[in-house]
Amino acid sequence: MNPIINEAALYVKDKNLLVIADLHIGIEYELYEKGISIGSKTEDLVRRIRKISTRLKANDLLILGDMKHVIPRSTITERKDLLRFIEELSDLRVSLIPGNHDGGIKKIVGSQINIFPSHGIVIESLGFAHGHRWPDKSLVRAKTLILAHTHPTFSFKDRFGYKFTERCWVIARPNYTELEKRYGEIRLERVVVMPSFNPLCGGISVNEEGFIGVVDKIVDKNDMEIFLLDGTYIGRVNR
C-alpha cells in the first residue's frame, strides 16, 4: 500500500488497485446556490484519475465513499456528471463502498460499477470503509484499516497570524479500548485516514477539531502522525 505523491490516492500494488475517497461529484451545485459559480469540475477529477492509473497501469479503481454529493436527492446535473464520470473511466473496473452522501446511487449508475456493502470490505490484510458507520467485524481483524469521511486537513499559522490549511494523511494507532469494547478481539495495528480527492470539499483540521463520528472513536487521538500530500512529515499531533 503506497500513497501517491501530491495526490490523495493509494496504490495497492499486489492488486493493481487505485484507491481514492470523497469525490463529491456535484458539489459545484451547492457552491452555486451559495453564489459561487465555478462550473463542473468532473473532467478535472477524471483527468487526474486517468493520469495516475495510466502511470501505474492500474486496472481497478476503488472509491471509498461519497462518490456523489447532493443529498437526499440528486440534481439532474449531478446525475449527468456521475454517468459521464463512469463512461470516461470505462477502461477501469470501478467499485464503490457507499458513504453517507451516496444514498440512491444504485438507481443512477445501475450495474455500471460494483457497489460493495457500506460497512466495508477486506482485501487480504487491508480493511476499507468510508467511516460514517461502524465497520464490519472482519475489518478490525485486518492489519490496517483505511477510512475517509472526515476530509482531514492540518492547520498552519504564520508569524503574522494568517491561518491556512493543507489536506493531509493521518496514520494512527487504533483506539483499542473502544474497539475491544465493541468487537471483542481485534488485530488492527494501524488506521489510515485518507484526505478527500476533491479539493473543493474543504476539511476538518485534525490539530484543531480532531475527527467526527465513528472515526473519532476508532482512532487513538494521542498517537497520530501527519503527512502532507507532498510527503512532508509534520509529526505527531500531540507534540
Whether domain 2-236 has CATH 3.20.20: the reply is: no
Angstrom distances, CA of residue 113 to CA of 43, 93, 127, 158, 178 = 18, 7, 20, 45, 34
pLDDT band at 12 (very low <50, low <70, confident <90, very high): very high
Q: What is the pLDDT of residues 80-126, one digit of tens each?
A: 999 999 999 999 999 999 999 999 999 999 899 999 999 999 999 99
Q: How much is the pTM?
A: 0.94
DSSP 3-state assignment of 227?
Answer: strand
Q: CA neighbours within 13 Å on the CB side: how many for 13?
A: 4
Contact 183, 137 (CB under 8 A): yes
Place of cell 508569524: 159
pLDDT at 39: 76
